[in-house]
Structure 1
Amino acid sequence: MQPLTAAPDHDALTPEGLARALLRRWYVLVLAALVTAAACYPALRPAPRYQSSAVLVVKPPRTDNQPNQLTNLQPSLAMVSYAVVQRLQSPAGRAELRAAGVHGTYRLTPRNSGTSATPYYSIPTLQVEAEQPAPADADRVVQTIIAVYGRHLHALQREQGVPAATLLTVDLVNRPGTVALPPNRTRALAGVGLLGTLTGVLAALWTERYATARRRRRPGHEVSAPHRTP
C-alpha cells in the first residue's frame, strides 16, 4: 500500500475556480465597489485647470536694408531658437526653470511653418504653454519661461562673442492668454473604475488564498485524497 498524500488543489488555476473563489468572497468585491463609487465622486468634480499660451519670435537686428525685422526671419534663426529650447529641456535647464518658479505642466513647442512634405522649422517662433489651477499662475509660469528663454538666448550669443549691435532679440507674437481646460470626466471615470475593479479582484483572491492557508494549518485538518489500490 502506498501512503495517501494530499492532492494539489488546482481548482483556483481554472476559470471556474477563480469564479467560485470570487463568489465566495463576494463581500470583498462589494466593499471594493463601494470604495470605487466613493472615489468616482471627485473624478466627476475635478479641480479646474487653466492653460496659458504665448508665441515668441527670435528677431534679427534692425538694419537700413531691413527696417522691419519680421521680414528678415531666416531658417538659421530657427536653429538658434531650437538650441535655446534644447538647453531649457536639459536636466540643468529644467532645474533652472524650477528654481525660477516654473512648476506643473508646461511645453515648449517650435512652430512648424512648413507642410508634411517640408517638416522643417524655418521660422524662429516658439509656442510656450503652461497649465495651472489658477489663471494668474498659468500666466506667471509662461512669462517666467519667456524670461529664462531670453536670458539663455543672450548668454548663447555672448558665448559666441556676438557684438551688441547685432544681437538677436526676443519679441512676442501673441501675448499670454488663458483659457479654461474642459475636464475629461469620461477618462477619469474609466481610470478609477478599472483600478477599483482590479484592486477588488486581487483583494478577493488574496483573501481566499489567506483563508485557505489558515484552514490547512489548523490541527486535525485532513485533506481528502483519491483512493489508491496497492
Structure 2
Amino acid sequence: MTPEGLARALLRRWYVLLLAALVTAAACYPALRPAPRYQSSAVLVVKPPRTDNQPNQLTNLQPSLAMVSYVVVQRLQSPAGRAELKAAGAHGSYRLTPRNSGTSATPYYSIPTLQVEAEQTAPEEADRVVQVVIDVYERHLQALQAEQKVPAGTLLTVDLVNRPGTVALPPNRTRAYAGVGALGTLAGVVCALWTERYAAGRRRRQEAGQTGQTG
C-alpha cells in the first residue's frame, strides 16, 4: 500500500481512529494518579580486620577489598543469586552498585563500598528489601571466606556507612502518557486498516455474488 492509499484508508475509517483516541484518553487517566514509589538506599563497606598497626579499619581500605566485594556482587547478580534474594524476600526493583570514593584522584572501584537501592510502593517495604540484600551480601562474603579457609582473626567484615534511608520518587507522567499514546495510536491504525481490509473483502464477495446471479 502506498502512503497515499494508507492516508485515504485512514480517512475513510476516521471513526475507528476516533474510537481509539477516546479509549487511549481513558487509559491515560490512571497516569494522572500514579501509585507512589519510594526508594531506599544504603551504603556498606567491606572492612579488613583490626590490627595493632591499623586500629581504625576504615584507614586500611585496599583495592583488593573492592575486588572481593565485586566477586560477591557478581554472585548475587547471577541467576542463582537473584533466586536466593527472591527467596529471602527481595522482590521488585533493586540495584547493587559498587561505588568510588567520590574523588577524581581515586581509581574506579578502588574503595570497597557498595550502594544498595530498592524501589517499592511503601517506604518501610523499600527499607526491608535493602536490609534483605545487605544480609544476603554479608552471608555470601562470609561463605566466600569460609571456602578459602580464612582464619577467624583475619576475616573481612561488613559495616554500614549510610543506613537505609527512604525518599519519595516523583512520578514520571510524561513517560506514561507517551507510552500509552504510542500504543493507542498503533492500535488505532491497525484496527482502521483491518476494518478497511474487511470492508474491501466484503465488497468483493458481494460483487462476485451479483456477477454470478447475472450470469
Give the TM-score normalised by structure 1: 0.88
Number of aligned residue pairs: give it.
Answer: 210
Residues 114 and 121 of structure 1 are in contact (CA less than 8 Å); yes or no, is this contact kept in structure 2? no
User: Does the 8 Å CA contact 1:29/1:204 hold for their aligned counterparts?
Assistant: yes
Distance 2:105 2:59 in 1: 24
2:200 to 183, 200, 212: 212
Q: CA deviation at 1:113?
A: 2.8
CA distance in 2, matches of 1:39, 1:201: 17
Return the offset for 1:220.
2.8
TM superposition shift of 1:210: 1.2
* Corresponding letter in the other structure for 1:129: E
Alignment of 1:86-101 (within 5 A): 86-101=74-89
Q: Distance in 1 between matches of 2:58 and 2:64?
A: 14
Which of 134, 149, 159 aligns to 2:147? It is 159
Amino acid at match of 1:220: G
In 1, Cα distance between equivalents of 2:56 and 2:180: 55
Q: Where does residue 142 of structure 1 map in the other structure?
A: 130
> How far apart are 1:29 and its partner, in Å?
0.6
Structure 2 unaligned regions, length at least 5:
none
Bigger mean CA deviation after superposition, 135-144 or 186-195: 186-195
Corresponding position of 1:179: 167
* Higher alpha-carbon Rg: 1
Structure 1 spans left out of the alignment, 5+ residues: 1-12, 223-230
The structure where helix makes up a greater share of residues is: 2
Q: Shift of the alpha carbon at 1:120?
A: 2.2
Q: How far apart, CA to CA, are the structure 1 residues paired with 2:183 and 2:62?
A: 51
Aligned residue in 2 for 1:169:
157
Shift of 1:117: 8.1
Return the TM-score normalized by structure 2: 0.94
